[in-house]
Chains A and B, each alone.
Chain A
Amino acid sequence: DAGVTQSPTHLIKTRGQQVTLRCSPKSGHDTVSWYQQALGQGPQFIFQYYEEEERQRGNFPDRFSGHQFPNYSSELNVNALLLGDSALYLCASSFGTGGIKTQYFGPGTRLLVL
């Protein structure tokens, strides 16, 4: 059983560009959450998708948007990239009505904005 997978593993973009990151949840999971982790910091919650809708959102600007597909996979889109968007982007999948232990993180996508 594959765990949470993310693609790509690394990405380099320039300021002003747009980026799309992808996440495939663990089998049986229906909820996907995205986190941003800057160097030396803990992960920060961006938003969460369930039933193809954004259900919860952290303190991130509208430049950050997402999507969830019928197969529960998800995309994170960031527009008008800033240098400060350089970070590790983590996807976590879970079974929404399960316990906190059902939240599993993927290995992340490391984004560098030049």
Chain B
Amino acid sequence: LAKTTQPISMDSYEGQEVNITCSHNNIATNDYITWYQQFPSQGPRFIIQGYKTKVTNEVASLFIPADRKSSTLSLPRVSLSDTAVYYCLVGDRGSGNTPLVFGKGTRLSVIA
């Protein structure tokens, strides 16, 4: 499994765009990048997954450069309810029975 490095914490004001970068220098050819969000007192929730270039859904965008050694989760116009821990996972595409390997994640605090 590729090791990932994320900032421990980030602060942002409401309405700003937040970009959280994850480094994964030894990502393998078959690896995907997956991001999860965890609110206090809840389990993690799948946000987005990508392999290369850019992926966008209703929650976030994921930017992956050509060398795939890093990725950036972008949250547009954050609100207080986006305060959570965000985890970057790198591994195969995964299935319903793939054990998930979490690091410490990035604690995002959104301030009014």
Q: Please give the residue numbers on chain A whose beta carbons come within 8 Å of chain B beta carbons, in ascending order.
A: 4, 29, 31, 33, 35, 40-45, 48, 50, 55-56, 58, 90-92, 94-108
Q: Please give the residue numbers on chain B whose beta carbons come within 8 Å of chain A beta carbons, in ascending order.
A: 34, 41-46, 49, 87, 93-105
**For residue A57, which residue of chain B has the nearest CB?**
B99
**For residue B41, which residue of chain A has the nearest CB?**
A107
User: With a CB–CB cut-off of 8 A, which chain A residues contact B103?
Assistant: 42
Please give the distance in Å from A52's CB to the nearest CB on chain B: 14
User: With a CB–CB cut-off of 8 A, which chain B residues contact A99?
Assistant: 93-96
B-side interface mostly: loop
A4 to B49, CA, bound (A): 22
Q: A33-B99, A45-B99, A98-B95 are in contact. List 16 more A-B contacts (CB 8 A).
A: A31-B96, A35-B100, A42-B87, A42-B103, A42-B105, A43-B44, A44-B102, A94-B97, A97-B95, A100-B93, A100-B94, A100-B95, A103-B96, A105-B44, A107-B41, A108-B41
**A103 to B100, Cβ gap below 8 A?**
yes
